[in-house]
Amino acid sequence: MQLGLGLGFGLRLGLGKRIVILGSAGSGKSTMAAKLGEITGIPVTHMDRLFWNPGWVQTPSDEMDNKVQEAVSGESWIIDGNYLRTFNMRQERADTIIFIDFNRYICLYRIFKRCIKNYGKTRYDLGEGCPDKIDWPFVKWVWGYPKHSRKVILESIYQSGKTVVHLKSRRDVNAFISEVCKNGAIAHS
């Protein structure tokens, strides 16, 4: 099932209890996950918290696989983040995949704004000891996201047979959250 936010949008059916949220850095994945977790009481896992260790040290691949496997083994969860290498593990167990698909200019603006706001602080969605920062490789990754990651994600999610919610604007995101609040659409599976 595929839901788009346009004319006739409605969430009268449940989205399930296992939800993956994808999108470029700066698209609002972690904010969406936190809001949905607050509304539904479903536990939230941020992939960045699993991946980044103090001092921006990456978790080794085998350890990351174990962490993701543990996260998706639960009865209900909301997991935000890309990490395409482990995406299949999350997609296989998900009931619903939410893709926040904002253009690169909006995402870059939001990451610069976020970094200025949180400079020197560790955000709730990052690993401990990882103060917010921006570097050139990260900016290049965000810039290249539409060409590289977006294409792979769209192809995969629309072939998955899962419920897909494709949000293309701030208005779509707000309408989606509003519908979830109004209809309590997530608690069914």
Q: CATH number of the domain that 39 lies in? A: 3.40.50.300
Domain membership flag for residue 189: no
Are 173 and 32 contacting, i.e. CB atoms less than 8 angstroms apart?
yes
Are 6 and 171 contacting, i.e. CB atoms less than 8 angstroms apart?
no
Both tokens of residue 44? 């939230």
Q: Residue 34's domain spans which residues?
A: 2-181
* pTM across the whole model: 0.89
Instruction: Give pLDDT tens digits for 22-74.
Output: 999 999 999 999 999 988 889 999 999 999 999 999 999 999 999 999 999 99
Domain membership flag for residue 186: no
Tell me how many domains the chain contains.
1
